[in-house]
Amino acid sequence: MSLNVAVIVKLEPDFSEGNISYNADGTLNRAETKSKLGAHSSVACLAAFYAKVNYGANISVATMGPPMSEIALSEAQSICDADSLHLYTDRIFASADTLATAEVLKKGIQKMKENENENNNGIDIIFSGHRASDGETGQTGPQTAWKLGYPFFGNVIDYHLNLKDRVVTLKRLVVLNGMDNIIEEIESPLPVFIALDPSYKPSFTTLSSRLKATIFEKNAEKKVANFKSYLKMFDHNSLELDPKEVGLSGSPTIVYKVERIPKGKMNRKAEIIDGRDRNQIKNIAEKILILNGQYGRS
Amino acid sequence: MEDFDVIIIGGGSAGLAALKHISALGKQAILIESGKEIGSKNVSGGILYSKNKEYGQVHNVEDIYGQKFLEEEPYERRITKYILNATSKDKVCSIDLTSIHDFQSNFGCSVLLNKLNTWFAKEAQEEAQKQGGGIVTGVHVKNIKWNNENTPIELDGGKQNSSTYDNSLIVETDELEEFRSRAIIAADGVNSEIASLLRAREKFSPDQLYQGVKVVIKLPEEIIEKRFEIGPDEGAAHLFSGDISLNQVGGGFLYTNRDSISIGGVYHLSSLLENPVEPDQLVNSLINNPLVKDLIQDEVPIKNIEKNLSKEEQTKKSFTISKLIRTWNELREIYYSPKNREKTIANGKFKSIEEIKDKINTTRRRLVEEFNTKFVTNYVELEYSAKVVPDGKRCMMNKPYYKNVLFVGDAAGRGIFLGPRIEGLNVGMDDAVRAAKTIIKYIKNNLTDPNIGEIYSQSIHESPYTRDMKKIDKDYLKVLLKAVKKIPLEDLGAKNNFLIRCMSNDFLRNFAVSTINKVGFYKFLSFVESPKIYIDIPILLAEKLGRKINTSTKFDIPELSERISKLKYYEDNNSHIIVTKPQIEFMKKMTVLCPTKCYSIEDQNVVIQHEGCIECGTCSKETSWKHPRGEKGIFFKYG
């Protein structure tokens, strides 16, 4: 019984030190900042990898963005040993909001149905990350699911499949009566759209599945060395998209104005202590002792 | 429950050799390593030997990994110079012991264990996967039990009674579901949890252990070659004894790597407990030796940012300077390495060597002129590490097995410590092959032979390394005496002089050696490994015969806290060590002897803060000591 999995990912700025660059006004300098596969996207890839190791899934990774987004696809392939990489790139896709992005992804994922192997009844599971880290755009996933007519499950922390009955059992975090982190267990027939909670970690709990995972990891390494041969590019023509429904013209969102968040006023004074200076340590220890005395602790 | 034939616990050099060999012989084996990656928990003082022994055959690294080991060179440098330095203040007396190093050896090379074991793992994994086995990292074995504890291995009139015999083991880990195995090779190092769990042996006592502490120092490739007067295919090893040991029994070492230097000390733990000295101070005393200073010093840039600038300006400047310093460092790494130079010029980044040199100079000038950076004579540390080393002659397991669990290498207490001769890696790898061969026989016998342990034990006792741990080799002693003969010994006092003269006589020496071996040479250890031999005589040598070394270099040696802050950890909330006897003297001494100062005293009780622990095992004897859970704890980048 075959299983077809799609992962949608995003190329994001690398916010780590030494890679990020700022403009004079403090905004992000996108041209100078390096880019990489988003952290949430890599969690989605891990979930797909789990399906590969445990259920022999056929994995396609997709992203929409400029041609350089292929970096994200190759990084995704190195995590999940993907079998095909799809890049939706077209000048008219630029400046898309989440809805217009979802339109492209929908068509792309529908295309996967047609393009993949014969005994294929479409994509069974679509994985996405929780949200992007360079914008509050956690709605791309749900919108794509809605457009495709897939049931959507967010904040998923674990899942298992019953391939025979084509049913997924998944656990997700919910808030109930103001209580955080309640785990809800859901059973759903395939296909489904799953957005992973950032805390998701694939649970390979048997030695043989761990061994199998190492073999797939090695495969992935080999594939990535030659990732372009797995890469397929699509523009609005090949996706049969109406130019009016994508990019800026397909985006109902209107950004009226962007306000910079004003810097908060500092109301405490910090003192920097050099740990190598014994006197400074002595001083701070004395201060702590005095404070403790004030609050009546011994 | 999943079922496997052979499980190897521990992914060090020995465990990996076992995996490689079993797989090469066509059987499935799975290696389990608790570290996040292979090599991340391994530390070595130094040298991996390939031996050509007189009394029997050993399995060398190139026998296990083939010609590929010699071609791909995952080691650092082949050691071609082996020198013992006796020190006293600014005086050093150097004795060439290259003949000792060459004794019965094909080659000996300096290694950094992360790199070496990663290479071994790549080879072993490939072979193992062909047989359906492999390596699984990040899994910590916490318990082993026999499927049916009530069915002990019983011999029925010397023959096994296979109908009642159930040898299968159940392995419990922190991370995975239980699984079954029919045999285990325990290669989990000197602090073997498996050995403690099964009570296969006592935990090693301080008398049986040495504590090794090391720092890896950065130095460009060709600068090393010039300093140590060696060629590109050569390496130097220096040993130290005398006042650098701060009155401890043991000594210092310095090995040249490809583009770094390993420097540190190995000291008898009993000696340290008697008169505790902070381990990092022992390293520092070596670094402060004038000979060492001359060997490891380098040009080091020091950031200097004006304090009167605004915070934002300071950060900006700091970023720019860091970037320039990084460029300067990278360029030097290219310039001083023939391989890197060739590669960089071939890919068109630079046209010629001169151009690289120019770029280094302009970067340096920019740093000095535009950014007020100072270049001083200092040295650069890359990594601080420590481990305890078993002294095989005192602690090797006489029967290195428990039922169908075979112990190899450090886990079985097998290391060679004979004066200037220290070997561990090659011994562990030889053990591993012997264990692998035993296992193969076992599998052919349908995994039921209850004699598996005894067969392995016999093989171990046939190993020339075992002989080295039990007996003094008269030929080795002859070579050693010949090497020191060149020194004019008149000044060392009549008593010492007489002794050495007697030992130089073939007849007297052979007689003495055979007598000592007959009586058991461990009985003479308190004489041989005494403060007199390790400290007094070297100091006397240095003072009487040493050359004076003048150096004005002053090093800015990092504090322990700086060394620890440079290390990489994957923190575990739970402590893997539990203090069980908070008031005993041993634990109080740990507040000094722990290389990363994890112990302190609160209300007369010794308490631990495990976060900085580098898992050396110094405190293992009197604590409840386990390895951290899978992926957790220290991650050595060099090792």
- Quote the CA–CA distance of B255 and B238 in Å, as a whole number: 6
The partner residue sitting opposite A208, judged by closest CB among B2, B129, B139, is B2
pLDDT the model gives residue A286: 87
Interface contact flag, B133 A211, Cβ < 8 Å: yes
**In B, which residues are within 8 Å of A276 by CB distance?**
559, 561-562
**In B, which residues are within 8 Å of A208 by CB distance?**
2
Interface contact flag, A210 B139, Cβ < 8 Å: yes
Interface contact flag, B136 A214, Cβ < 8 Å: yes
Would you state the structure tokens that stand for residue A287, as one six-digit string?
Answer: 């201060």
Residue of A nearest to B562 (CA): A276
Per-residue confidence at A1, pLDDT binned at 50, 70, 90?
A: low
pLDDT mean over B622-635: 96
Residues B101 and B244 in one domain: yes
Put simply, whether B398 touches A (Cβ < 8 Å) is no
Dihedral angle computed from the Cα positions of residues A195, A201, A202 and A203, in that order, rounded to the nearest 10 degrees:
-130
pLDDT digits (tens, 9 = 90+) for B496-507: 777 777 777 888
Smallest Cα distance from B126 to chain A, Å: 10
Residues B131 and B247 in one domain: no
Report the candidate in B441, B639, B593, B505 with the shortest Cα–Cα distance to residue B5: B441
Lowest mean pLDDT among A161-165, A243-247, B514-518, B546-550: B514-518
pLDDT the model gives residue B446: 84
Would you state the structure tokens that stand for residue B571, as one six-digit string?
Answer: 């923190």
Share of chain A above pLDDT 70, in %: 90
Determine the structural domain holding residue B95 and report its residue range: 77-109+206-297+379-390+530-562
pLDDT the model gives residue A281: 87
Contact A51, A73 (CB under 8 A): no
Residues B58 and B138 in one domain: yes
Would A268 be classed as within a structural domain?
no
Instruction: Evaluate if residue B461 carries a pLDDT over 80.
Output: yes
Would A260 be classed as within a structural domain?
no
Q: In angstroms, what CA-CA distances link A79 with A105, A165, B21?
A: 21, 28, 30
Determine the structural domain holding residue A14 and report its residue range: 4-250
Per-residue confidence at B156, pLDDT binned at 50, 70, 90?
A: very low
Residues B165 and B187 in one domain: yes
Would you state the structure tokens that stand for residue B44, as one six-digit string?
Answer: 């070595």
The partner residue sitting opposite A207, judged by closest CB among B136, B561, B562, is B136
Interface contact flag, B135 A206, Cβ < 8 Å: no
Residue of A nearest to B131 (CA): A211
pLDDT digits (tens, 9 = 90+) for B556-614: 999 999 999 999 999 998 999 999 999 999 999 999 999 999 999 999 999 999 999 99
Would B130 be classed as within a structural domain?
yes
Q: In angstroms, what CA-CA distances link B205 with A22, B62, B337?
A: 57, 34, 45
Put simply, whether B2 touches A (Cβ < 8 Å) is yes
Would B524 be classed as within a structural domain?
no
Residues B84 and B37 in one domain: no
Residues B53 and B92 in one domain: no
- Quote the CA–CA distance of B356 and A195 in Å, as a whole number: 50
CATH number at residue B598: 3.30.70.20
Instruction: Evaluate if residue B448 carries a pLDDT over 70.
Output: yes
Chosen from A33, A204, A209, A210 to mutate, greatest number of chain B CBs within 10 A: A210
- Quote the CA–CA distance of B497 and A136 in Å, as a whole number: 83
Smallest Cα distance from B435 to chain A, Å: 22
pLDDT mean over A231-249: 93
Residues B359 and B434 in one domain: no
Per-residue confidence at B160, pLDDT binned at 50, 70, 90?
A: very low
Residue of A nearest to B323 (CA): A18
Residues B124 and B194 in one domain: yes
Residue of B nearest to A204 (CA): B176
ipTM of predicted assembly, 2 dp: 0.84
pLDDT the model gives residue A24: 66
Would A163 be classed as within a structural domain?
yes
Smallest Cα distance from A187 to chain B, Å: 24
**In A, which residues are within 8 Å of B4 by CB distance?**
207
pLDDT the model gives residue B105: 93
Chosen from B125, B136, B313 to mutate, greatest number of chain A CBs within 10 A: B136
Residues B463 and B491 in one domain: no
Give, in degrees to the nearest 5, the angle at Cα B571 between B567 and B573.
150
Instruction: Evaluate if residue B155 carries a pLDDT over 80.
Output: no
Per-residue confidence at A298, pLDDT binned at 50, 70, 90?
A: very low
Interface contact flag, B135 A214, Cβ < 8 Å: yes
Interface contact flag, A205 B30, Cβ < 8 Å: no
Chosen from A16, A211, A272 to mutate, greatest number of chain B CBs within 10 A: A211
Smallest Cα distance from A185 to chain B, Å: 22
Residues B148 and B244 in one domain: no
Share of chain B above pLDDT 70, in %: 97
Smallest Cα distance from A16 to chain B, Å: 13
Interface contact flag, B561 A275, Cβ < 8 Å: yes
**In B, which residues are within 8 Å of A202 by CB distance?**
none
Interface contact flag, B30 A207, Cβ < 8 Å: yes
Instruction: Evaluate if residue A9 carries a pLDDT over 70.
Output: yes
- Quote the CA–CA distance of A170 and A167 in Å, as a whole number: 10
Would you state the structure tokens that stand for residue A223, as one six-digit string?
Answer: 């594939």
pLDDT the model gives residue A297: 47
Residues B139 and B44 in one domain: yes
pLDDT the model gives residue A271: 78
The total domain count for chain A is 1
Interface contact flag, B559 A276, Cβ < 8 Å: yes
- Quote the CA–CA distance of B203 and B191 in Å, as a whole number: 8
**In A, which residues are within 8 Å of B133 by CB distance?**
211
pLDDT digits (tens, 9 = 90+) for B382-391: 999 999 999 9
Per-residue confidence at A114, pLDDT binned at 50, 70, 90?
A: low
**In A, which residues are within 8 Å of B561 by CB distance?**
275-276
Would A276 be classed as within a structural domain?
no
Put simply, whether B141 touches A (Cβ < 8 Å) is no
CATH number at residue B53: 3.50.50.60
- Quote the CA–CA distance of B8 and B135 in Å, as a whole number: 9
Give SS3 for B67: helix
pLDDT the model gives residue B310: 79
Put simply, whether B136 touches A (Cβ < 8 Å) is yes
- Quote the CA–CA distance of B408 and B463 in Å, as a whole number: 13
pLDDT digits (tens, 9 = 90+) for A59-80: 999 999 999 999 999 999 999 9
Residues B11 and B152 in one domain: yes
The total domain count for chain B is 5
Smallest Cα distance from A249 to chain B, Å: 40
Would you state the structure tokens that stand for residue B90, as one six-digit string?
Answer: 């600014």
Would B525 be classed as within a structural domain?
no
**In A, which residues are within 8 Å of B179 by CB distance?**
206-207
**In A, which residues are within 8 Å of B2 by CB distance?**
206-208
Residue of A nearest to B133 (CA): A211
pLDDT the model gives residue B158: 46
CATH number at residue A40: 3.40.50.620
Would A278 be classed as within a structural domain?
no
Contact A144, A8 (CB under 8 A): yes
Interface contact flag, A210 B4, Cβ < 8 Å: no
